[in-house]
Structure 1
């Protein structure tokens, strides 16, 4: 018997006294039907396709790294929008687009600590079952803990998972329809839809899923010899006609793959634009890139992409952000004809759970307690987990002197990025190129105050300490550059410092208009910074003194760097995308876009190493300036670490303004 398209809503349980997140849902408002529902005629029906994507185990609005609530994410917040959107229409379906099982400490807690015994239900599935999801596909992060773990988790879902391009075994069939697929490639749901006059009709809704083929690189250790991945578009061209033969009235593609207009190539990672060109697909749910579509910011000026209408090659599509930041929504006006239902009109949007007013976050909804309560014990267990050590550090991690000397808090980030990318790149065309890593100090006082520094003592290190090492939810990327670009990269970073005069005492060292997160340190090379030269680039990255060169003695492998030599540099998506206006560092130089956040990479590095050694290796320093000293300010607790500085003479001078302490650097 066909199932109604609007699933029943569970009765809300009573509010738990511990449910700080489980505040009442958004205030009741007058429900306004979507125009497609309000004005549909006989033989016309409005179907809403609700999408979540890239949840990454962020079920509640809580930042486990910083150990405090956060209003910018959480499926519990998205759930309130889901409930309201369902009320605005006569027919709806809730679908997820993958990347569910990894990406927050809750995911690591379940995988590494609690485990999955037979009959256990993963907290993600608890939440999704309550909300009445009807289907999902696999994201690349579903494989991070291995296939056995994934299988156990999927067994707890009250809805199917589909994937048309993941194959069991080590061989691809000549015909994709002969592949031994890991999951069903698609499902066709027999539904019942209500038209504009209130009449009910049967409809067959087909759902087909896809995962990036790059899983075979990203998770080779979990997948090699067990599965294979086929090109997304190739798989779609094989299976979508079969769905039509099986009677699907409409076909919706669940594409855990983003939008890239550079031209289709076999095995491409972000293939959604070209997937839209497959005949028979009526609408696309996209994701993976952690961006928003449609909208005014992402995917502008791409051929075949309409960021206003929300279309890819003319077909409705949506990408609902990440971590529950948005709910993707495709509204379809369907018409019934002799050959079944067809799409007559559509709209597409991504509804946010918050907005920003300058630097302030304004939540637009509160958490839905029907999602929070089933996972509350998991949330509390995760809090206990993140507050416990996951490894040790053999030396303290602090950033008090990050702007004047090689620094342990930056060193450990570069070590982790190098460790991560070396493994990733070893099976690629870049495997034989030298690998460098760039990172900057994030917590370095300034306008954020005298307490705004990393300070983790030697000994046990907890996951939440990673927030002190890496503030932002950036993702790892790699860029291909030359030795000449490495030098210019460092010249841009060296704009942090004021120019110093020989023989002059107590000159101000730091240009306070320069953001510390643009002071990149590059590990894998050695260099000195000559402050008697003016800054080649100003604080905004503009070429100010073309004749000036502060970077001296730049060497790779003990020899002067070859300007023409090629290097891979590990960095983050902000820098690789052109953030900070670093010369030669932009999206055109990107050769690898990682699926993991820098925070997660650091955590995984600590877990693997067990004991980390963040002692700075002194690969960079300030060049001597005859007879000169300079003054800088840092946190008052810096005095506790003066004895640990090597090769740098720094003396405490006295108290500064605003709680800072003043120090003298002898050059």
Structure 2
């Protein structure tokens, strides 16, 4: 066992012991249940992303905000608060940190191998899980080998084998069982025991067909989540289920449409479903911050269209809890009341994250070898950098962490296309910052010092195992791509000071910087597109002075743009960017290309070339937040004038830009 994890466990235990105390308080449903009533508590984990231990492999240090081993310590306490309890997971287990990549790319999965995630989950007694979109990142064969090691079932009602959907969803040849009925024994308020049938159905975002096309095309197809639910839930009821719960690896959105990515709100409206467990968006529900002011979404009581629902953060940060008060109606049970809660594994105290629980030592011990092997894997040097690689200003200025990704993509695509019909087209490169604070917190930034660059640093630069793709588009489409990207910025009023710059609803991974052209962003113009790609202001033109090779870009000219499979396949809903524009699909991940580029160069020079900036607005200032360590790099930003502007919330620092 590494010394770092040992010290982490000791620190966690002390903090957890102080926070938890010794008093167990029964949930009101257990305390007041009558002879014909019973309290059922259902616990959720979601979006673990291989963070089984409280260790940030990118930063190579312990982290008190993550880890299934911490969430696991809530389980016993939660079970003691209730007469009856069960545990489920909502997907996105297998990808998201270097341990996942180590198992998939370095160690591999042979028949009979037990994945580290399954080692931890099997110890905790899960009743069921569904699939998340990131389960498919390493291919179906890998997924099958992992699932074979689970001591609990996986269900998914909208993932279909083959290439076609049946006319009736019930006739689909599904990849997994659509649902399972768990036969349980439940204790009522007087201590009597009775049988109960609990139906569990699962769903995955249909967009996996776009995000992981290279693994899935020709092998599976997906069906609309709500359509699948309406077909299968009646069958679950016909099979005798007393209670039906939905494991929806899908977020919360109240704008209805077909094949929705975030369909949990409308799933809650399906007759027969009693509770909805959500995820995917890495947010918390119920709570005080996320999903406020959405109609029929009650963020205080935790209901969607009146049905109890929960979303338990990400990386093990929370445990989701839905409590059901059941009442017997003859030989059947029905839900008569419900509460919902997202319980955290840490609290923010002043500027520190203070753990509320200790590690479950069983999990720490079970993953000892996997942890040590991952540390060795991520610490392997692959080259050097002559300048710091950081992302503290990635959303407000041309940035070295994005620059190196674009340099590597351009280098790779030029080589791949040199003997093709596209060899004479200019190659641009689109890349976005992945670690730029936001919901990840004030420490969620890339920060690689001058000197050796290791695999952990490359994984830090590029979080996802996307593959490189290239699209062929026009100069006009390049401009619209950028118009969509700069929707991350709020419109500002000329001459007004200290206006909020960043739209927090716009994901940073959709803020593409396109290298190979130069441009300015006019913030006095309103965004042309909303965060989902819908046109907001058709006449708006925020991208000005768009130049290629020192001249205004020709709208009709053809360009190749290097990007990733997510964007090239239509991810983010960028205007006219979809699979029809793809001219090259690489077998290599973007991370592998970056590693190969660094090895080829020996020493990289990631200095930003300042190909984009904000258009001047006299007398105008804007405010943005970044990590407190940004002050060490403020002098390196040349394209905009930045100055400190005080402390922000939750450990962030405020900065001011003079436009």
So what's the TM-score if we normalise by structure 2?
A: 0.70
> Aligned partners of 1:18 and 1:225: how far apart in 2?
44
TM-aligned CA distance change 1:109 to 1:168, over 3 Å: same
Aligned to 1:329: 321
1:307 aligned onto 2:334:
no
Runs of 4+ in 1 over 6 A off after TM superposition: 14-18, 400-407, 416-421, 440-443, 490-493, 562-565, 567-572, 587-593, 633-636
Q: What's the CA shift string for 1:132-152, capped at 9, x where partnerless? A: 101000111111111111111
Count of matched residue pairs: 536
Q: Partner of 1:110: helix, strand, or coil?
A: helix
Shift of residue 488, structure 1, vs aligned partner: 12
1:603 equivalent in alignment to 2:584: no
CA contact under 8 A between 1:142 and 1:150: conserved in structure 2?
yes
Deviation per residue, 1:378-416 (Å, 9 max, x gap): 111111111114x556x6353599999976544114457
2:368 to 364, 376, 379: 376
Tell me, yes or no, if the aligned pair for 1:286 and 1:319 is still in contact at 8 Å. Answer: yes
- Once the two structures are TM-superposed, the CA of residue 528 in structure 1 deviates from its matched residue by 7.8
Query: Are 1:130 and 2:133 counterparts?
Result: no
Show the counterpart of 2:251.
258
Considering only CA atoms, is the larger Rg found in Structure 1 or Structure 2?
1
- Partners of 1:308 and 1:491 in 2: CA distance: 28
Of 73, 78, 85, which aligns to 2:78?
A: 85
The alpha carbon displacement at 1:233 in A equals 0.8
Q: What is the CA deviation profile of residues 49-104 of structure 1, one whole-angstrom value per residue up to 9, with x for unaligned ones? A: 00000001101111101100111111111111122111101100000000111101
Work out which of the residue numbers 378, 391, 396 in structure 1 matches 2:386: 396
Indicate how the Cα distance of structure 1 residues 218 and 439 shifts in structure 2: closer, same or farther if over 3 A, else same: closer
Counterpart CA distance in 2 for 1:405 and 1:289 is 27
Once the two structures are superposed, residues 560-583 of structure 1 have per-residue CA deviations (whole angstroms, 9 ceiling, x without a partner) of: 258999x999999xxxxxxxxxxx
The equivalent position to 1:285 in structure 2, one of 261, 277, 282, is 277
Does the CA-based 8 Å contact 1:463-1:603 persist in structure 2? Answer: no
Pair 406,194 (structure 1): closer, same or farther in 2 beyond 3 Å: closer
Report deviation, 1:111: 0.9
Alignment partner for residue 227 of structure 1, among 201, 204, 220? 220
Question: For residue 455 of structure 1, what is the aligned residue in structure 2?
Answer: 449
Q: Unaligned regions of 5+ residues in structure 1, if any?
A: 1-13, 422-432, 473-479, 496-510, 538-549, 573-586, 594-599, 624-632, 640-647, 649-667
Q: Tell me whether 1:54 sits opposite 2:47 in the alignment.
A: yes
CA distance in 1, matches of 2:485, 2:181: 56
Q: Distance in 1 between matches of 2:235 and 2:391?
A: 63
Change (3 A) 1:202 1:383: same
In structure 1, the partner of 2:146 is 153
Q: Aligned partners of 1:420 and 1:256: how far apart in 2? A: 34
Is this contact kept in 2: 1:413–1:439, CA < 8 A?
no
1:357 aligns with 2:349: yes
Residues 247/63 of structure 1: CA separation in 2 closer, same or farther (3 Å cut) = same
Task: Find the residue that maps to 1:207 and give its secondary structure.
Answer: strand
- Alpha-carbon shift at residue 521 of structure 1 (Å): 9.5
Map Cα deviations across residues 252-299 of structure 1 (whole Å, 9 max, x no partner): 00000111111132x111111111111110001000110001111111
Secondary structure of residue in 2 paired with 1:103: coil
2:645 is matched with: none
**Equivalent of 1:38, from 31, 41, 51?**
31
Aligned 8 A contact 2:410 2:428 in 1: no
- Which residue of structure 2 aligns with residue 139 of structure 1? 132
Q: Structure 2: which 5+ runs fail to align?
A: 414-426, 465-476, 493-497, 525-541, 565-571, 579-587, 615-629, 639-659
Query: 2-side partners of 1:384 and 1:15: how far apart?
Result: 11
Comparing 357-366 with 99-108, greater Cα deviation is found at: 357-366
- SS of residue matched to 2:288: coil
Whether contact under 8 Å (1:122, 1:153) holds in the other structure is yes
- Picking from 330, 333, 348, the partner of 1:341 is 333
| 1:466–1:602 contact (8 Å) kept in structure 2 | no
Q: How does 1:527-566 map to 2 (within 5 A)?
A: 527=518, 554-556=546-548, 559-561=551-553
Partner of 2:96: 103
Deviation, 1:313, is 1.0
Deviates more, 1:484-493 or 1:605-614: 484-493
**Could you tell which deviates more after superposition, 121-130 or 327-336?**
121-130
In structure 2, distance between residues paired with 1:146 and 1:406? 34
**What corresponds to 2:290 in structure 1?**
298
The 8 Å contact of residues 406 and 429 in structure 2, kept in 1 or not, is answered as no
Describe the SS at the equivalent of 1:235.
helix
Contact 1:524 1:556 in 2 (8 A): no
Give yes or no for contact 1:256–1:287 (8 Å, CA) kept in 2: yes
Q: Where do 1:395-474 residues align within 5 Å?
A: 396-398=386-388, 408-414=400-406, 436-437=430-431, 439=433, 454-457=448-451, 461-464=454-457, 466-467=459-460, 469=461
Q: Deviations over 1:142-170 (max 9, x none)?
A: 11111111111111111000111111111
Would the alpha carbon gap of residues 358 and 167 (structure 1) be closer, same or farther in structure 2, given more than 3 Å must change?
same
- Return the match for 1:173 from 166, 169, 177: 166
Distance in 1 (alpha carbons) for counterparts of 2:222 and 2:82: 38
* C-alpha distance in 2 between matches for 1:240 and 1:71: 39
Q: Name the SS for the 1:124 alignment partner.
A: helix
- Root-mean-square deviation (CA), in Å? 4.9
Q: State the Cα distance separating 1:304 from its structure 2 match.
A: 2.1
Asked whether the 8 Å contact 2:405–2:594 carries over to 1, the reply is: no
> For 1:435 and 1:18, how far apart are their aligned partners in 2?
40
CA contact (8 A) 1:287 1:320 kept: yes
8 A contact 2:434–2:463 mirrored in 1: no
Q: In the alignment, is the contact (CA less than 8 A) between 2:428 and 2:514 conserved in 1?
A: no
SS in 1 for 2:367: helix
Alignment of 1:487-636 (within 5 A): 522-524=513-515, 526-527=517-518, 554-556=546-548, 559-561=551-553, 603=591, 605-606=593-594, 611=599, 615=605, 618=609, 620=611
